[in-house]
Structures are given as structure tokens and as C-alpha cells.
Structure 1
Amino acid sequence: MLDRLKRDHLKSARLTSVRRLGIGVAALAIAGTLAGCGLAPATSYVPDAAPGSIRPIEGAVGAEVTVTGRNNTEGLILGKMAVLAATAAGFTVSDLTNVPGSQPTRTLMLQGDANIIWEYTGTAWLSFLGHTEGIPDQDAQWQAVHDEDLQNGLTWGAKAPLNNTYALAVTDETASEYGLSTLSDMAKVPVDQRTYCVEPEFNSRPDGFTPMLAHYGLDRGTPDGVPESNIGLYDVGAIYSATDAGECTFGEVFATDGRIDALGLTVLADDQKFFPAYNVAPVLNTETLEQFPELAGIFEQFSPLLTDEVMRSLNLRVDVDGEDPADVAFDWMAENGFITAAP
């Protein structure tokens, strides 16, 4: 995670050609970066889409918009949804998803080289806008980042319920055995079974593991709290299988990871609101939105349906079942009637 303009209408015509050149340069730079890492260039494959409940916007035919997004599973699925939605709305869409890292996508948006991205409220607040503490209340966090980013020429659309923040999970069997559904319930587990698998960063963050335990009334390093011997450090990808295998009772996870469902894990609710909010929302170039205000309504059609549970099921189809993110995005959009298959 990691930083932040505005233009007036008199400049827009002259900036269009500059932006297109910027997009080309950015795309070449990104492709070079990917190739240097041994990865494939950004996959621009998206099934052909036609309007469903998303209808063409007046003036969109012939207008160009660029969608960007990061090169992780969730970023790809959401990015492809945005490409499909903008296509159904009548735009000519440049697909600049699959960008490595959050800072390059932020730069593309700030420089006007991309018009649409799905972004996380906590990422923008803490990494891009430089605040030191997140806001656990999801509505307050969205409002704060929305208001501050306006000065950067970016307008945040309505947030989705999807909140991809830190979380702790247990196996379904453990949840049933001890009656666990919230982080407050950690205290129900006997000390000798109160074991944790966490990644090193979360373990050492000033807003991470140790203060989280204290927030929930458990003292780290004490015999009746969480003894140091009860804490194991793992690579983030190994935590899911380690938790499933019983190497620890509580595993640090991300709330929308598909492996949660694949392994039968139960995510414990952050009932005392310790973790910052990381709701995802469409972020639009303000100038583009002023020209096509109906764009906000396009995303408002499907953003409210993007919950943690929905995103986990979609991520699972890619990470576990091996499906293409674009196909997964298309299927979900079509099943919900937002788009149809092009004739």
C-alpha cells in the first residue's frame, strides 16, 4: 500500500492526446516491468459484453476510458467487472488492469492516465494520504477518504460491503467446539489451546497483533494471556493450511481470501472494532465523472452486492479452481443481469 490533482475543462481537449500518449508509455513501462519479473504482460482478455440492466450512457459511444487495477486475484476480478460495466455502458475501454503494486495504479489515476479503479478505503487513507491511524467505522472511513481525495481530482463512489481487512479465522470444528464467532470469544479458549499463526509484519505492526490482543483483553507474554510459545510466525500463504491442519487455533487471514471457504474456516467478527476499515469502492477521475455523471450510477447497481462472502467465492474460483478472472467477473455480472453476452 502507498500517495496523490485537478484540471479544468478548458484544458481537457488538449490533455486528451497527452493522456493517450501517457497511457501508452505507462503500458509499455508496466509490460517491461512484468517481463523483467518473468510474468506475462497485463491480460486484456475480457469476454464480449452487451447491455443488461447497465444501459448505454448518452455520449459514451466513441468516448474512451481506461480502467486500471492491481495484479492480484481480487484486483483482477474487480478490474474486469469495471471493464465489463464500462463496455456495456457504451464506452471504448482500455484495459490497464494487472498492474504490479498499488503505487503505480495510484500514479496512473493521479496523472489522468486512467479513469476508473476499485480502491480500498484503508489503503488510500493510510498509504496514499499518509495518515497514521485508520478509522474502524466503515462509513466514517469512506467519508474521510472521499472528502480528502477530491482535492486530488478523484471522486469515490459508493463503497461496497466488502471489507478486505485483517481478520482471524479458526476451523469450523473449532468454532463449533468452543462457540466462537467473534474476537471477544478468544478468551473462551483454554490458554494451552490459545495459539496463533501470524505473519511477521502483522506480528510487529504498531496497529497489529499485540495491540489487537490487548484491545480484546489478552496480554501477550503472560501465562494467563497469550504466552510467547503460543505464537508462530508463518509466511502469509502458509497460515491458511497451518490453521486448517491444527498447527494453531487462530490464523491471521484476509477477510475475502477464497481459501477461507475452500478449507472450511470461520472468520471471527471484529466485534470491538479494532481493525481499520478496508472497504472497496470505485474511484473515478472527477473530470470524467463530471462529463459522464451517470457513471456513478452504473457502479451503484452492483457495488452493494459485493460482500466478503461473494468475493471469497469469486476469489476461490480463480485461486483454487483455476478459472480466468475475466470469466469469473463476466459470469457474476451476467448472472445478476447487469450485462449480457454480446451477440
Structure 2
Amino acid sequence: MQNKLTNYIFLLFCGFTLLTSCTNTDDPTITPIQFAEVEYQGVYELIIGDTLKITPEILNLPEGASFEWSKNDESIATTQSLNYVPQIAENFTLKFKVTASNTIERSYQIKLIDPYALYFRPKTETSTEFITKIMEYKPAPGQFINAGFGTPEYAEKIIGNKTNTLSLGAWGGYVIFSFDHTIENRVDQKDFVVYGNAFKGLSEPGIVQVSFDENGNGLADDTWYELAGSNYFKERTILNYETTYVNPEEYANVLWTDNKGSADNVTVNTYHKQNYFPLFIAEKKEVTFKGTRVFPIVNPGSYVTIDALEWGYVDNYDAEYSIYGGNAMEIDWAVNNQSKSVKLKGIDFVKVYTGAQYNAGWLGELSTEVKGASDLSMVK
């Protein structure tokens, strides 16, 4: 009886061993996965904002294999190909693991370079506080456009001073300018001021965007961040707003439509009898502007008045306007296109665009005006 029991246990053990051996990677019917290349690029250097792209080639890869990319042991992706955009200047170890009938691993060393360290432009003995270059002037239709202070030639006159007035036209019209150095983000201080011609009872709020020359090419083709003024998060404010203006080809009202289903006109007046559509821009038939639309309080009547927004806008008679002689801006107000706060060490380019849309009767369209700008760290 004991021999029979012993034989039975032995047969069970053999059966279990046979069963488990069928799932072992030593089974000749299962081909282990492996990397196609023994030698590979193990070190990557890139600038913050660049996309890290790695696609390891794997042999004998079956369906159902799992992938994991981890940064300092924290999972960041579960696909074979990695497309990752690092946001912080740091060095870290990146690991890649593939699991199928067997597991293979590979590691990479990643070095992130802060573009600010590469392309920051310090002040010099010859630096000026004022604007030194107009990068682009693209106004929306308005009564001063194509004449007076609404031409590319006149835009150049706000360089180096704060005495000439440039019209940006109706909502969306803008000017982009730069300085001869990077405007640094100062701790607990306003960083730069934009001059307008606002006064009590007449504010024409302009919205500000800023950008750092992160690719170092001297062009304003980098990521833009909006300075979220006091009305940015208010319910009535429209983000991702668009307006298209149609060239009337003559002195006539300029039709506009927006992406909210509204339509109206930039209305002509008897004081300015030229075509109000900007004739010097690339778009000759119609032009579309994109951005944020705010709604200041307008008091209609025989003499229209427009109340100031609380803070954070150009050509806006806020509480600090008389202190700075313009509107002081804080780089720490910057948000990305997801309305999330971002930390910028400094900026190279400033964009100001008209932030409201309103026909003010005999005063004409609500239009932000810019007279110049200064680096507040250099203003005495």
C-alpha cells in the first residue's frame, strides 16, 4: 500500500513538472524576445520643450507584449515608441522594459538643457529701457488704419520712446516688439510697463502675451503665454475666440463674424474716409484673429465712457496707471494655452492686442493704443 502511494505521488510530481515546463521560456517552441541592436544610443541631450523620441526595435515580439518607460522609476509611458516632452532642466535615467515570454530591459541617460541658460540676453552698458525692434504690426480694421497712426511706418515710431501713439484697430489687432536684452522676471516686482493713452472714463483694454526666444533664432516664433489679467477667469470672458474681418475694398463698414455665431461691423465715421481694412498685411480679402475677448463696462450716451478693468491690461486706466504712466505687467501672470500658470525666468518678445470689441459711436471702434514700453528694472 505504501509503495502504491509513493508511486502515485511520484506520478503527480512528474505531471506537475511537465505542465510547468510548458510555460517556461526554456520551451524550444517559444522564441524569446530580444533587442534587434546590441549597441544603441544610450545618451540623449535635448532642450526643454523638445520631444524625446525613441523607438527600440524588438525581435520576436508577440501580440500581448507589455511595455513600460519609466523616469527615475516612475512610469511615464506604456507604448513601444516613446514621445516625451520634458519640462524641467534636469538629468535623469530613463528605463525601458518589455515583457512577453521573457523580460528585456534597457536604460538611457537623459540630459536636459535649459534654453534660458543658452539664449538669455543680459543687459549691457548700451542697453536701453525702451523697445528696440518692431517684430510685426498687424492691426485689425479701424478708423486710424492705413492713415495717421495706423501704418507700418508709424509703428516704427514707438521704438526708443513713449511719445508716439500706435493704433491696433478693433479686436484682435496686434503689435509684437522686443528689447535689446531679455526682460527678467523679478521676484515680487512688476517687470515691464506698456504705455498707452488711457484716461479716466476711457479705457481700451489690450491683452498682453509674452514669449522667450527658446530656439535662439531672434524670431518671435516661440511659445506664447498670455498674461492673465483680472478678467481672464471671469465667466463672461471668451477664451479661444476668433473674429474674421472682410475687406470692403472701399470706404465702408467692415463686416466681421466670429466663431460664436455673431456678426457685426466696424463702422466708418465721417472723420476718416479711407478703407479701414489694413491694406498692408498679407491677407488681402479677409483676415482672422485669435485670442481672448474681454468685456469692459461701457456707459453709452451722448459721450460714451468705458470703465477700466481692474489690472493686467494695456491702455487701461487702472489704479496704478498714474504711478507708472502706463500699465505695469508681471511675468508671473503668464498662463499657457490650457490656462495653467507657468514659470518664466524672462521674456524676449511682447505682443499686445486689442482685447474688446465695441463701436463707441462718434468715437469710433474701441481700439487699444500703444505708445511704447519699458523694462522696469531700468526705469529710474
TM-score, length of structure 2 as denominator length: 0.20
More helix by share: 1
Larger radius of gyration: 2
TM-score, length of structure 1 as denominator length: 0.21
